[in-house]
Chains A and B, each alone.
Chain A
Amino acid sequence: MTSISSASPAFTGRDPKNRLYGPLPDVSEEAGYVEEHPKRVGFFTDTSVCIGCKACEVACKEWNFLPMDDAHGNRDVMGLSGMSYDNTGQLGANSWRHVAFIEQSRTVDLPMPSVGLPGATRQDSGPSPANSSEQSTVEAQASVLNAEALSEFDPQTAQSGTDTQIRWLMSSDVCKHCTHAACLDVCPTGALFRTEYGTVVVQGDICNGCGYCVPACPYGVIDQRKEDGRVFKCTMCYDRLTDGLQPACASACPTSSIQFGDLDELQARADARLATLQSQGVETARLYGRDEDDGVGGAGAFFLLLDEPEVYGLPPDPIVTTRDLPAMWKSAATAAAMMLGVALSAVLGSRKR
């Protein structure tokens, strides 16, 4: 019988090169599925066709019975984030899909009003306008004219219309299901494991809430629930895959921004899509997580972005945090040996005395 290890090949003794990073042709086999196993699956999220409907977020929560956000329905705690139409904020234990909304403007020299930091201040009560006396309508009208004066920026000046000046980027983020998953490497209980599909899944009934995986994730995906400290994240709907279904988010996506399938097929599709966009002059288009030589050996969930990863809140150059473990162990062993040597020589030396 195949023995399945939850750890990276480096720790299974089957990895001749002691690899903790770099390309891995068959991640499932490396994990111990040496006999027949399904092809590695993944997500290709094409943000160029995302319409920000958040159906993925809702479908994910519906299928996985996730609780609502940390406010838990306490309406006094719920509030507008102020970050465009994003009120989810980030991936977390209760949000396994997160749609980011990024508003960009290419206009320069536009006098901007003092816009507070998004969500930085939330006043529960402001001054009542009833008491702030009558703001003179004359003043208001004058200001309307002033607004024109200060608005050298004219919304329609660009021949190509206004979308050259405003861009509203939307992107549905998710766990990357890394080729080299640090969360899995550091998990002491085996709660995190690599599935036969090459995905990374946490077993809630085994997790002991130690939280080692949280700082290990280079993307900040995995997160603890406040109640008991156990961690949760996207399972790529492991329970649906085993029944021959697609993950809930991909099923719900109306524009095929989230595509699910065999990873090699998705990679080919993504390469073609990128080429199409670039031939159409969308030079900022790029793939993220597609490169098998990147710091996590390529991601099982990768993206087509229209701007720098940082713009979407993604790390530009993620590196599996366990990459340097062997070197660190080596250094540690050297240090230990030296210390042992010093200790020994001290003891021996003292005996000589």
Chain B
Amino acid sequence: MPGLGASFGRGGATNFLEDLANSDCIVIEGSNMAECHPVGFQWVMEAKARGAKIVHIDPRFTRTSAVADLHVPLRAGSDIAFLGGLIKYVLDHDLYFRDYVVAYTNAAALVGEQFTDTEDLDGLFSGFDPESQHYDEVSWQYEPEEPPHSGSDDPEEAADQERVDQHPDVKRSDRAQAAGSGGPPIPSKPKRDETLQHPRTVFQVLKRHFDRYTPEMVSQVCGIEPEVFEQVAQWVTANSNRDRTTAWVYSVGWTQHSVGAQYIRTASILQALLGNIGRPGGGIMALRGHASIQGSTDVPTLFNLLPGYLPMPHAMQHHNLDEYCADAAGKAGFWGNKRSYMVSLLKAWWGDAATAENDFCFDYLPRINGDHSSYRTIADMIQGKVSGYFLVGENPVVGHPNGRMNRFGLANLDWLVVRDLQMIESATFWNESPEVETGELSPDTIGTEVFFLPAASHVEKEGTFTQTQRVLQWREKAVEPPDDARSDLWFYFHLGRILRERLKDSTDPRDRPLLDLTWNYPTHGETADPSAEAVLREINGVGPDGRALSSYMQMKDDGSTTGGCWIYCGVYADEVNQAARRKPRGEQGPVASEWGWAWPLNRRMLYNRASADPDGKPWSERKKYVWWDEAAGTWVGDDVPDFEVDKRPDYVPPPGAKAQDAIAGNDPFVMQGDGKAWLYAPAGLVDGPLPTHYEPVESVVENALYKQQASPTIERIEGPWNRENPRRSEVFPFQVTTYRLTEHHTAGGMSRTLPYLAELQPEFFVEVSPELAELRGLTHGDYATLISSRTAIEAKVLVSERMRPIKLGDGQVVHQIGMPYHWSYSGLSTGDAANDLLGIALDANTHIQEDKVSTADIRPGRRPRGPELLDFVEDYRRRAGVASGRVGVNGRAPVEGSTGETQTGS
């Protein structure tokens, strides 16, 4: 979550769900919270019952809108323009929380002279290289407080380092996500002008940047009438001050855009200006897509991260541990201890084999040399670059956009292991998929050997979930898994055990990393299940005395401590599984600190030092949360202070202070190099220091703000299996947005086979407005066919006035089609796969796909079957001026064109 990471220092929701009840106004945008997070939504209803205003901003009128005070329909893909409009409103009317902004944000920081804004370059920031389609962020930096000095004392070496950092392969390896738990490193603290008057202060840069985001522009871009915009602006600003707070809630309705990280940045700027971060009832609530998604980035399943958001070492950048830690050496903030976290991780993994002499086995770690993200890997599969693949709890041929391309990828492997609860489509694609029907996949010639292994469900194994608000909750195994079903922990532990046994006599040095691993987890039961608690304790880390650590502050860089994920340190404090705590709500305070355990250090609300003023006093009695107790000499309050408890509010770092010692007593954003919330991000994002409205890759309208239509840094994966609909195409005149329903789970593997859920939403449908139904002759309850440059799919039509044509300021009407994506051919509840319609275009910060907005055509009736379908879609491509999408058998050897190279830019 680089949007939040670069803004505040950690890539996690700043507040917690229960705290929404304390809000005076809740804006839900980019989220259908009632449908997708119904349990957490109770706190929104609680806030409403206490008198809070609930605003839902969404292209569709959903079950969330139904209980909101106001639903604001907007055109999908236009949120930055709307939020930018609110930022302008706040700045123009002097409605920002001045004391907060001056003290706690980087508003007063001066930006370097080299920086040029999009306003002056018609949609581009300074530093753009049109050839590589990448930005060099050097010109975005602060004007330094003291003369700049590079990470290295040798200027030549420094220049070398700089060159390496700017190499496209290094950039593609995506360092942005490393801001998950620590702001991006900056070379030095900035010069400041606390009057905010200097033209190069962040504050003034911000004012100029958003100057054209007027209510009229909002109306033109988003289709939101100025009166409604005004209403939202009034509610938000009237409920953001010393006494009142507004919360912003988003989920994948924001992240799944080609500029998703910048959507979140825009909200971050707004909430920081309004003084809503680190305060009760405020914050930005990032709702995660399912049960342990937060956990899957904390202890990551991402190619470019190690546990605790430590970046994966890069082949060109990081030849040894010193180089790896160089960017953090001498830096302010908790990232300054990067070496301690890394050495503890290496010690946890390689134990006694990791010594100071061998760089703690740093060379055992694999290196990355570019983009190896999910979609890039699929393209690599098609080209035969990937031999084997594990799919665990994922159904990409349904859940990923462009299912056809994903199936071609899987069809070109040597082997594929699918571990799932059900025989999902990703395991049966070779025999049953739509491409078998069209003849594009030929089961006889597909070389992929598919191993399907039944997995234990969450009630059949022990372990933790880390949910949306960073709380780890332990769950016990309720029943034994049936038959051969086993937990993932069991699978990987025994796979490792068997591999190590096979290699035990090997003298090949490349086998040392595997053989030296600490792989001694105790097992129990008939099936020899490894103890999940032992794993959790290893993640927590152990000190020199052999006892579990209680805080990452205890971690050392000399190899005397271990820790598998530094941000989780403390979850096993006092040798107790803190995640298993279950103290009832009625028996503890309002923050419920003794229910489970939250990272970091059981702090439920991040940056909560900001709930007090610079002197340490609560901003108001109504919103008091954490404050300085002079008599006791500590920070106290309802929650664990997200601050060193005994650091006085008037602490000023002495010259030369490092890490946390360089953070002042009135700097609440302790993970940032300058201790401030970033209105302007001098580093950390690859597509600009400020958010800028760009149109989606597939859009039916022209960018009203800049000549630059779409983000210049968009990642594309080109090939006949991933053709893009041209912008403003007459052939594909309608916007499509995808989403989930309460009744089903994502790609359906956990719901389409269950009778009680399947019957509640029994088949695939699309939602259209009465106007679009009339326009295209669609009949309620009948079939319609949707067509894109990828393929054509059919769905039942639900005509509803909840879907509305969006009328832009200049009178253009944009029709939007709603398309839930749960279905495919397996299970009780079936239908075509919505995601087959979508192409893959990615946010360069996150490699997340833009599937919340795309274009298509819709017409009544069912789609053609068999090879006829290919001709039908090819005809559409031809008419739209799109290159052929025909492929050879099993997706290989394209009939024409494409090399399948990643291209960036528009």
Give the chain A neighbours of B780 by CB distance below 8 A.
Answer: 82, 115-116, 118
Q: State A140–B224 Cα separation when bound (angstroms).
A: 25
A254: CB under 8 A from chain B?
A: yes
B355: CB under 8 A from chain A?
A: no
Shortest CB-to-CB span from B227 to chain A, Å, is 5
Give the chain A neighbours of B757 by CB distance below 8 A.
Answer: 58
Residue of A nearest to B861 (CB): A126
Give the chain B neighbours of A53 by CB distance below 8 A.
Answer: 34-35, 38, 63, 742
In the complex the two chains form, is B799's CB within 8 Å of A113's CB?
A: yes
Q: State A199–B360 Cα separation when bound (angstroms).
A: 69
Q: Which residues of chain B from 857 to 899 have a CB within 8 Å of any chain A CB?
A: 857, 859-865, 868, 871-872, 875, 879
Looking at B69-77, B154-162, B264-272, B681-689, the stretch in contact with chain A turns out to be: B69-77
In the complex the two chains form, is B742's CB within 8 Å of A52's CB?
A: yes
Q: Contacts A156-B223, A255-B42 given; indicate if A51 touches B862 (C-beta within 8 A).
A: no
Give the chain A neighbours of B774 by CB distance below 8 A.
Answer: 111-113, 147, 150
B103: CB under 8 A from chain A?
A: no
Interface string of B765-781 (1 = CB under 8 A from A): 10000111111101111
Interface string of A86-130 (1 = CB under 8 A from B): 011000000000000001010100111111101111110111111
Q: Contacts A62-B756, A254-B38 given; indicate if A54 touches B742 (C-beta within 8 A).
A: yes
A240: CB under 8 A from chain B?
A: no
Q: Which residues of chain B from 293 to 348 have a CB within 8 Å of any chain A CB?
A: none
Q: Which of B61, B227, B811, B861 contacts A127 (CB 8 A)?
A: B861
In the complex the two chains form, is A55's CB within 8 Å of B802's CB?
A: no
Q: State A293–B862 Cα separation when bound (angstroms).
A: 55
Shortest CB-to-CB span from A159 to chain B, Å, is 5
Q: Which of A69, A85, A151, A162 contacts B61 (CB 8 A)?
A: A162
Residue of B nearest to A169 (CB): B66
Q: Contacts A78-B762, A141-B733 given; indicate if A135 touches B859 (C-beta within 8 A).
A: yes
Give the chain B neighbours of A73 by CB distance below 8 A.
Answer: 755, 758, 828
In the complex the two chains form, is B771's CB within 8 Å of A80's CB?
A: no
Q: State A115–B777 Cα separation when bound (angstroms).
A: 10
In the complex the two chains form, is B828's CB within 8 Å of A161's CB?
A: no
In the complex the two chains form, is B758's CB within 8 Å of A68's CB?
A: yes
Q: State A350–B730 Cα separation when bound (angstroms).
A: 97
In the complex the two chains form, is B39's CB within 8 Å of A87's CB?
A: no
In the complex the two chains form, is B765's CB within 8 Å of A80's CB?
A: yes
In the complex the two chains form, is B879's CB within 8 Å of A84's CB?
A: no
Give the chain B neighbours of A68 by CB distance below 8 A.
Answer: 755-756, 758-759
A333: CB under 8 A from chain B?
A: no
Q: Which of B49, B61, B741 contacts A168 (CB 8 A)?
A: B61
Give the chain B neighbours of A128 by CB distance below 8 A.
Answer: 861-865, 868
B782: CB under 8 A from chain A?
A: yes
Q: Which of A52, A114, A147 contacts B771 (CB 8 A)?
A: A147
B798: CB under 8 A from chain A?
A: yes
Q: Which of A71, A147, A159 contacts B775 (CB 8 A)?
A: A147
Give the chain B neighbours of A156 by CB distance below 8 A.
Answer: 72-73, 223-225, 227-228, 807
Q: Which of B63, B763, B778 contacts A52 (CB 8 A)?
A: B63
Residue of B nearest to A72 (CB): B755
Q: State A252–B34 Cα separation when bound (angstroms).
A: 15
A154: CB under 8 A from chain B?
A: yes
Give the chain B neighbours of A87 by CB distance below 8 A.
Answer: 759-762
In the complex the two chains form, is B756's CB within 8 Å of A159's CB?
A: no
Give the chain A neighbours of B799 by CB distance below 8 A.
Answer: 113, 115
Q: Contacts A137-B879, A162-B72, A254-B38 given; indicate if A49 touches B783 (C-beta within 8 A).
A: no
A242: CB under 8 A from chain B?
A: no
In the complex the two chains form, is B756's CB within 8 Å of A144's CB?
A: no
Residue of B nearest to A71 (CB): B759
Shortest CB-to-CB span from B29 to chain A, Å, is 14
In the complex the two chains form, is A159's CB within 8 Å of B45's CB?
A: no
Q: Which residues of chain B from 790 to 806 have a CB within 8 Å of any chain A CB?
A: 796, 798-802, 804-806
Give the chain A neighbours of B702 by CB distance below 8 A.
Answer: none
A2: CB under 8 A from chain B?
A: no
B830: CB under 8 A from chain A?
A: yes
Q: State A155–B69 Cα separation when bound (angstroms).
A: 16
Give the chain B neighbours of A120 by CB distance below 8 A.
Answer: 781
Interface size class of chain A, counting residues whose CB lies under 8 Å from the partner chain? 35 or more
Q: State A283–B122 Cα separation when bound (angstroms).
A: 52
Shortest CB-to-CB span from B725 to chain A, Å, is 13
A16: CB under 8 A from chain B?
A: no
Residue of B nearest to A115 (CB): B780
B195: CB under 8 A from chain A?
A: no
B391: CB under 8 A from chain A?
A: no
In the complex the two chains form, is B731's CB within 8 Å of A144's CB?
A: no
B10: CB under 8 A from chain A?
A: no
Q: State A116–B779 Cα separation when bound (angstroms).
A: 7
Interface string of A131-167 (1 = CB under 8 A from B): 0101101101101111110110011110111110011
B626: CB under 8 A from chain A?
A: no
Q: State A146–B775 Cα separation when bound (angstroms).
A: 8
Residue of B nearest to A135 (CB): B859
B446: CB under 8 A from chain A?
A: no
Q: Contacts A78-B762, A168-B66 given; indicate if A140 touches B730 (C-beta within 8 A).
A: yes
Q: Contacts A80-B796, A119-B781, A137-B879 given; indicate if A129 touches B743 (C-beta within 8 A).
A: no
A19: CB under 8 A from chain B?
A: no
Q: State A163–B761 Cα separation when bound (angstroms).
A: 25
Q: Which of A88, A154, A255 contacts B760 (CB 8 A)?
A: A88
Q: State A187–B758 Cα separation when bound (angstroms).
A: 35
Give the chain B neighbours of A141 by CB distance below 8 A.
Answer: 730, 733
A222: CB under 8 A from chain B?
A: no
Residue of A nearest to B785 (CB): A129
In the complex the two chains form, is A51's CB within 8 Å of B66's CB?
A: yes
Q: State A160–B230 Cα separation when bound (angstroms).
A: 11
Give the chain B neighbours of A138 by CB distance below 8 A.
Answer: 730
Q: Which of B42, B49, B69 contacts A163 (CB 8 A)?
A: B69
Give the chain A neighbours of B63 by CB distance below 8 A.
Answer: 51-53, 85, 168, 170
B815: CB under 8 A from chain A?
A: yes
Give the chain A neighbours of B741 by CB distance below 8 A.
Answer: 85
B813: CB under 8 A from chain A?
A: yes
Shortest CB-to-CB span from B897 to chain A, Å, is 24
Q: Which of A51, A105, A113, A116 contacts B41 (CB 8 A)?
A: A51
Residue of A nearest to B792 (CB): A129
Give the chain B neighbours of A160 by CB distance below 8 A.
Answer: 70, 231
Give the chain B neighbours of A150 by CB distance below 8 A.
Answer: 771, 774
Give the chain B neighbours of A144 by CB distance below 8 A.
Answer: 733, 775, 813, 815
Residue of A nearest to B55 (CB): A161
B842: CB under 8 A from chain A?
A: no
In the complex the two chains form, is A147's CB within 8 Å of B815's CB?
A: yes
B717: CB under 8 A from chain A?
A: no
Q: State A54–B782 Cα separation when bound (angstroms).
A: 25
A79: CB under 8 A from chain B?
A: yes
- Return 28 A-B CB contacts under 8 Å, by A number: A67-B755, A68-B755, A68-B758, A78-B829, A80-B765, A80-B781, A80-B798, A85-B63, A87-B760, A87-B762, A103-B801, A105-B801, A112-B774, A118-B780, A121-B779, A121-B782, A129-B863, A129-B872, A130-B871, A130-B872, A147-B774, A150-B771, A155-B807, A156-B223, A159-B231, A160-B231, A254-B41, A255-B38
Q: Which 5 A-B pairs give the minimum distances between C-beta atoms?
A: A113-B774, A156-B225, A68-B755, A161-B70, A168-B66
* Given A144-B775, A161-B71; 9 other pairs, CB 8 A cutoff: A51-B63, A68-B755, A122-B781, A135-B859, A137-B731, A147-B813, A161-B69, A162-B71, A168-B63
List A residues at the B interface (Cβ < 8 Å): 49, 51-55, 57-58, 61-62, 67-69, 71, 73, 75, 78-80, 82, 84-85, 87-88, 103, 105, 107, 110-116, 118-123, 125-130, 132, 134-135, 137-138, 140-141, 143-148, 150-151, 154-157, 159-163, 166-170, 254-256
List B residues at the A interface (Cβ < 8 Å): 34-35, 38-39, 41-42, 45, 49, 61, 63-73, 223-225, 227-228, 231, 730-731, 733, 741-743, 755-763, 765, 770-776, 778-783, 785, 796, 798-802, 804-807, 811-813, 815, 827-830, 857, 859-865, 868, 871-872, 875, 879
